[in-house]
Structure 1
Amino acid sequence: MDSLPIDEILPELKATLGSQVNAVLVAPPGSGKTTRIPLALLDEEWLKGQRIIVLEPRRLAARTAARYMAQLLGEQVGQTVGYRVRLDTCIGSKTRIEVITEGVLTRMLQADQGLNGIGLVIFDEFHERSIHADLGLALTLETQAILREDLRLLVMSATLAAEPVAGMLRNAPLIYGKGQVFPVATHYLERRGEEGVEASIVRTVFSALTNSSGDILVFLPGAGEIRRVQAGLAASGIARYAQVAPLYGALSIAAQDAAILPSPAGERKVVLSTSIAETSLTVEGIRTVIDSGLMRVPRYSPHTGLSSLETIRVSRSAADQRRGRAGRLGPGMCYRLWTKQEDHYLEPNTTPEVLSSDLTPLVLELAAWGVASPTQLSWLDLPPELAFLQARQLLGKLAALEAGGTITKHGRQMLQTGLHPRLAHMVLMSAELGLGGIACELAAILSERDFLRGSDSDLRLRLETIHNLDDAKVNPKRMVTQDSDKAVCWRIKQESDRLKQEFGNLASCSADIVYCGLLLAFAYPDRIGQQRGGGRFLLESGRGAIVVGKQLVANADYIVAANLDGQGTESRIFLAAPIEIEQIRTHFAQQIVNETTIAWDGAAQAVRARVYERLGSLILKVSPCLKPKPAAILGALLRGIVQEGLAILPWTRAARQLRERLLFIHHWQAGWPDVTDEALLSTLDTWLGPYAYGLTSQAELTQLNLAAILENMLTWEQRQELAEYAPTHLIVPSKQHVSIDYSKPDCPMLAVRLQEMFGLQETPCVARGKVRLTLKLLSPARRPVQVTQDLASFWRTTYFEVKKDLMGRYPKHFWPDNPLDATPTNRVRLK
């Protein structure tokens, strides 16, 4: 067995785990920690008769590590070393080292909280901070604290801020290992070009083939980019220089093995990989890395309640991991497709999944563990409260949790399926209706990438394609054309067949496809959508969504959206199916509420009493309320008056004048009612309510006698004093009754012809002589000629200037030299 850098720290690690139950190991990529450490610890005294569990973040890494360790022992996988990943297990009765994916550990803990028979759990590549790794460590730490004080935990990482992890592991010892990494020459772009990522990759691959030796590893964000680059390389004649091998999680095991195994002698290989090849997985023969600088990660938005895959810039640690792949065998070369200036702005680390992912599976796992709040466990990063609460709310809709957060029997059944809670609920509910087979097919389709992407979003087309895989007469419009898409179809078919068998040999037929929307609604009750016109839908959650273009589901009255982008005010729908309103009423009756609403209808200017049949934010039906409560009608009417303003009331001349008089007195005299807009609107129920009882509309409000209602706000004494304080009229010297204008409470006004005031020297007053009237003296044609509050001064001074003007305009009228001795009149008097 060749020596590796990790061998140097094995004695220290053995001694540490001999005396401590926890340890943290940090060692560079390529040091050998993944495969050497489990084998080195296998014969330790404290592990006698027990097994080692090694957690890997990806299935390919788990299978590869197990296979390599078995080779080192000269055995086949499944003997001393085995693996367990989703849909693939290779373990025998003598297996002592089990390499598993992180989700498998959670299943093991839920089945046996004590992890009996296991002496050591190794968390490899913990720096990737997957949500399963964080959850697995939190649960394992509690098992260690409560049930298994002897259980050893070893957290290993290539790039990790180790101190926080060591602190969480009760101040575990830190061990640092060395690696054998050769220098890697790093090349950056001088400037950003206009070409896209794929074209830049193709050009750089040919440059690297010319300027370097060995195989080339290209990092791309996803399978779509890999396929496009593969096509671009093929079109450029890459076959003359090297073989091209894609590498991503959805490929078959044979295809993945072809990518990671060494190239035959004399041949070169270009591996097009996602971030799967960053850590824990060694791709043999790599001397050059080409890094697009992009990665695709799931992002959950608590504001929309939706998850989506986002393409983001790699972090500093991820970029360094990728570059390090070129320095395993000797001096290497790394082409970074970004500029040096952009390099300075990379984030130090990738955001942990627990802070950015859908927490629904995690919350269900915690509930099964007996934990109602994540604060009851130890975490490096506590799951966000809002995302946690939204996940609990969804699980309540899926009947997985009680109101207090306790897991239900149905919730435990959902966990046992291994599916996402949404899909698990769908399959379980559908099986009760005899539709379990088609539900398994839907679950398999929704667990894979869309093989008809870019075509019609109707999920029924995907089901038809899967059903017709063995039929040579497939509709050509719905036939997948790319080999990669055909491979996805066959994987979906195999997975759906497995699920059908697991759930009790369920069957399906093409006729069941009509129930696609109903089955989707079991999984996505918050995404039942109601047509708003033009392919726009309102979802049960309250969010808007849209089907773009002329598609089959765009005109459906109701749909269920399985895949949306979660962007903007209206999410774009990528996968959906129609559902009938009666299916909603039948199968979601417990979530449907009948809500009686008695409210003011501004358009109708009336109170409307309606019964709304509501599913979340969706109004399924509106019908009149036949026996609304009179008190509720009155409340809605008064709220409508507040909404519309006091102008909606029947303000007759008498009512307006009385209100103005009251406003005037309130301004000058304490203890009188406040009849300002603000006061009246805030006390409608007191002064108006008794008179509006039984009325329902603006038209009926015209029946009200506002003047009498306002007068009833006064005490008996105030009614007697009203005329004294604020008389409606003043008898002027001409013996005429002239109305007083109280529209300005601080300045009551009397508009009167100047001639009618002859002989009066003092300015008239109101409010028992406290407030002088403002006199607006008018011409015979009732046009203002002077405004004054000092009539005596006007006669002495201003009158003579006014007289000259009036004599010229009104020569037939009498304009005396001494107005105080003249007889007042409201008629024409000749000289």
Structure 2
Amino acid sequence: MSAVPIDSVLPELARLLGDAGRAVLVAQPGAGKTTRVPLALLDSPWLDGKKIVMLEPRRLAARSAARYMAAGLGEEVGRTVGYRMKQDTRVGPATRIEVITEGVLTRMLQSDPALEQVGLIIFDEFHERSLHADLGLALCLQACELFRDDLRLLVMSATLDAAAVADILGGAPVVESPGRVYPVETHYLPRKPEGRMEDMAARAVLRALAEQAGDVLVFLPGMKEIRRVASLLAGQATVPDVQVLQLHGSMPQDAQDRAIQASVPGTRKVVLATSIAETSLTIEGTKVVIDSGWMRVPRFSPQTGMSRLDTVRVSAASADQRRGRAGRLGPGVCYRLWTQQEQAYLEPHGTPEIEEADLAPLALELAVWGTADPSELRWLDEPPAGAYRQARELLELFGALDGQGAITPHGARMAEIGLHPRLAQMSLRSVPLGLAATACDLAALLNERDLFRQSFTGSSAADLRLRLEALGRADAGAHSVDAAALKRVRLEAENGRRALGATGKRTDSEACGLLLALAFPDRIAQGRGDGRFLLSNGRGAVFSESQTLSGAAYLVAAELDDAGTDSRIMLAAPVDAAQLEAALPGLIEEEALVEWDSTAQTVRARHRRRLGAIVLSDKPQQRPDPDRLAAALLGAVESEGTGMLPWTNTARKLQQRVVFMHRFDSGWPDWSDEALVATLDEWLKPHLYGMRSRNDVQKLNVASVLEAALSWERRRRLDDQAPTHIVVPSGTRVPVDYADPAAPALAVRLQELFGMTETPKIAGGRVPITMHLLSPAQRPVQVTRDLSSFWKDAYFEVKKDLKGRYPKHYWPDDPLTAAPTHRAKPRV
């Protein structure tokens, strides 16, 4: 092998790993770390003949690295160097270096926490901060503490916050290696781009082919953009002997290999790639990089419980990685499809996946590991509390966790299957239903990109049943099927059937909706009409265009875009209510609702059966609970206030008298409107039994209801200390006005009070009544609480005025000895 920059630090790296057991290697692109480090450490004495396991974030990079190292040893993959990933493993008895994808490490740790046969674990390209890499490192650190203090750990990256990683490794030493990056000339757009990204990318490719030599690598967000650019280039007159190739994770292995291999002499290639080509891979012949500046990342929303793919700006670190692809083999050129001013606003680094991902798989793995609280482990970034809590709630709903949050046997079986917890739940629960084969097909479909090509549109485009049916056909049928994806789905489905022991081969596409309901109980949807649906989680969902499923009474959405008020349904299958009730009895709630209907002004008693926010049935109750009827009616009174009651003058006066007594004696009840509303249970509820509506309430005798709240002794004392009337000297019974509890009043004609020397008092003689003295025409002439002073000081002035206005009436000089009268003059 030819010398590479990393060679200069390999002896030091081996020594530090032997001494400290842990290290961080920061090696610039092109240094050769991925393929050189494992081979260089293989014969270290501290390894003691054990294996080296190296994690690669991407399957393509893992295969490529294993092949390159094996070729350097003059061997085939599977001897000294092998790889292990889902559905593709090349290892043998003599394998000492295993390049694995990150999910495989989690399975290895769960089955053997001590990793007895492993001496060193290498985390390559750790700067990508995938969820599995963070989890794998956290589990390895605890495994070292509990089982293997001799297990070595090495974290490698080109762009990495080395200090933070070294700290979490317990102060591990940091080794830095220069890269072999040739100068890359970088071009920016002169002004902010307008128009479609794909059009700009296609124009940039044509420019690069005309201006530069060598092969071209184009970074685009996803498959959709790759296909569009490929289509645009196919219609252009390009340089002769130029081959346009695609590179993304869902391509067949041989197609991926063709994209990364060197071009045939005399030809050129244009590779349209996702971020899969950012790191680890060397795409032979690349001299030019065209970077769209965008990437596609999954983001999970704890508010909705759904994930979506967002197209986001790349970070500055990712942009530098991409540009570096042009300088691996010699001087290169990079065309960035954004302005230099926009470059200054790029985020320095990408967001770790753990902060934005669906954490249900993480929560399940931690439960199997025996960790209920993620803070027990060491993380660079701890899982967000909200998303983690929601993940555990989902696992509890599935029965994967018990009431204390510990893993159940069912949860352990879910983890063994190796699918997302939703799909694992569906697969296991399908067995007693006799639908295991169909569930395995469906799980494989949902794990893969859409089987039908993205050009598939029409009234059935969102129907997942069509994909299931396509799996069982030898031909493509009426739809354009991605042959490579179909092959992968069939292989995964077959592996799933073997794992479940499902012997049946026939797929029942009509069971699709039922199976989806097992996996996505929060996405069961009830039709509202016009293609709009209510999800069981309370959110809305809609088809963006008319579909055969638009009129379904119930369906289950397997894929939603989680955008806007109503999420757009991408894939779904119908289900009927009877299926839901049979398969999900534990999720269906029975409700006996007794509620006030403000529109009808009556209490409605209904019996409802619900699945989350969806009402499956709603019928009148035949014999509603009288207590609940009364409580609902009482709630209406509480909401509207005492004004809902049919107050009479008698009832109001009784209320006012008790309010007056409470003011001067706290032992009396508080009958203010606010207090009455607060104590409805005590004084009103017993009288509401048998009533259901406002009309019924209007038949109440409020005065009698209030009186019933007072004991006989209280009523006697009330009549004594807060009388309804006062008999004045004329013999007239004059009502006392208690509207103002601070100053009860008596409005009486002055002539009827002749001979009354003192102001009447109530409340056991504590409160003088406020006397409103009236003229013969019932108009007030004086207000006083001291009648004696009035006779002495004010009467004679008042007399002059009244005598002038009412000359025929009796106005004596001595009111204390005069005869009172309610007539103009006293009878003789």
TM-score normalized with structure 1 length: 0.89
Pick the aligned partner of 1:615 from 611, 618, 624: 611
Matched with 2:65 is 65
TM superposition shift of 1:611: 3.9
**What RMSD in Å do the two structures reach over aligned CA positions?**
3.4
- Alpha carbons of 1:568 and 1:727: their partners in 2 closer, same or farther (altered >3 Å)? farther
On the 8 A contact 1:755/1:825 being kept in 2, the answer is: no
Pick the aligned partner of 1:687 from 659, 670, 683: 683
TM superposition shift of 1:144: 2.3
Q: Aligned ranges for residues 173-252 of structure 1 at < 5 Å?
A: 173-238=173-238, 240=240, 242-252=242-252
- Alpha carbons of 1:631 and 1:431: their partners in 2 closer, same or farther (altered >3 Å)? closer
Matched with 1:653 is 649
Q: Aligned ranges for residues 176-575 of structure 1 at < 5 Å?
A: 176-238=176-238, 240=240, 242-450=242-450, 451=452, 455=458, 456-468=461-473, 470=475, 474-475=477-478, 479-480=479-480, 485=482, 487-504=484-501, 506-509=503-506, 512-575=508-571
On the 8 A contact 1:436/1:508 being kept in 2, the answer is: no
On the 8 A contact 1:22/1:152 being kept in 2, the answer is: yes
On the 8 A contact 1:758/1:819 being kept in 2, the answer is: no
TM superposition shift of 1:13: 1.1
Number of residue-to-residue matches in the alignment: 810
- Alpha carbons of 1:743 and 1:4: their partners in 2 closer, same or farther (altered >3 Å)? same
Residues of 2 paired with 1:25 and 1:192: CA distance? 38
TM superposition shift of 1:603: 4.3
Q: Aligned ranges for residues 712-727 of structure 1 at < 5 Å?
A: 712-714=708-710, 718-723=714-719, 725-727=721-723
- Alpha carbons of 1:177 and 1:765: their partners in 2 closer, same or farther (altered >3 Å)? farther
Matched with 1:169 is 169
Which one is further off, 120-129 or 612-621? 612-621
Counterpart amino acid of residue 728 in structure 1: T
* Partner secondary structure for residue 83 of structure 1: strand
TM superposition shift of 1:298: 1.1
Counterpart amino acid of residue 662 in structure 1: V
Matched with 2:581 is 585
Residues of 2 paired with 1:75 and 1:760: CA distance? 132
Residues of 2 paired with 1:702 and 1:89: CA distance? 81
Output one character per residue of 1:76-109: Cα deviation in whole Å (capped at 9) or x when no partner: 2222211112211122232221111111111222
On the 8 A contact 2:538/2:612 being kept in 1, the answer is: yes
* Partner secondary structure for residue 189 of structure 1: coil
* Partner secondary structure for residue 206 of structure 2: helix
Residues of 2 paired with 1:743 and 1:508: CA distance? 86
Output one character per residue of 1:306-335: Cα deviation in whole Å (capped at 9) or x when no partner: 111111111221122112212222232222
TM superposition shift of 1:728: 3.2
Q: Aligned ranges for residues 12-23 of structure 1 at < 5 Å?
A: 12-23=12-23
Residues of 2 paired with 1:302 and 1:779: CA distance? 79
TM superposition shift of 1:66: 0.8
Output one character per residue of 1:535-560: Cα deviation in whole Å (capped at 9) or x when no partner: 33333333333334432323222221
TM superposition shift of 1:293: 1.6
On the 8 A contact 2:536/2:611 being kept in 1, the answer is: yes
Matched with 1:147 is 147
Which one is further off, 94-103 or 402-411? 402-411
- Alpha carbons of 1:696 and 1:38: their partners in 2 closer, same or farther (altered >3 Å)? same
Matched with 1:810 is none
Counterpart amino acid of residue 335 in structure 2: Y
Counterpart amino acid of residue 707 in structure 1: A
Counterpart amino acid of residue 638 in structure 2: V
Output one character per residue of 1:250-307: Cα deviation in whole Å (capped at 9) or x when no partner: 1111221122112222322222111111111111222222222211111111111111
* Partner secondary structure for residue 185 of structure 1: strand
Which one is further off, 447-456 or 195-204? 447-456
Residues of 2 paired with 1:493 and 1:58: CA distance? 22
Q: Aligned ranges for residues 638-677 of structure 1 at < 5 Å?
A: 638-667=634-663, 670-677=666-673
Matched with 1:711 is 707
- Percent identity among equivalent residues? 51
Counterpart amino acid of residue 352 in structure 1: P
Which 5+ residue runs of structure 1 have no aligned equivalent? 808-812
Which one is further off, 220-229 or 767-776? 767-776
- Alpha carbons of 1:777 and 1:280: their partners in 2 closer, same or farther (altered >3 Å)? farther
* Partner secondary structure for residue 743 of structure 1: coil
Counterpart amino acid of residue 221 in structure 2: P
Which one is further off, 288-297 or 25-34? 288-297
* Partner secondary structure for residue 617 of structure 2: strand
Output one character per residue of 1:169-221: Cα deviation in whole Å (capped at 9) or x when no partner: 22222111111112223233333233122222122222223333222222111
On the 8 A contact 1:435/1:508 being kept in 2, the answer is: no
TM superposition shift of 1:130: 0.7
TM superposition shift of 1:826: 8.0
Output one character per residue of 1:229-248: Cα deviation in whole Å (capped at 9) or x when no partner: 22222233336473221111
TM superposition shift of 1:771: 4.8
- Alpha carbons of 1:722 and 1:278: their partners in 2 closer, same or farther (altered >3 Å)? same
- Alpha carbons of 1:749 and 1:558: their partners in 2 closer, same or farther (altered >3 Å)? farther
Output one character per residue of 1:797-821: Cα deviation in whole Å (capped at 9) or x when no partner: 79999999xx8xxxxx978696989
* Partner secondary structure for residue 288 of structure 1: strand
Residues of 1 paired with 2:320 and 2:397: CA distance? 44
Which 5+ residue runs of structure 2 have no aligned equivalent? none
* Partner secondary structure for residue 586 of structure 2: coil
* Partner secondary structure for residue 186 of structure 1: strand
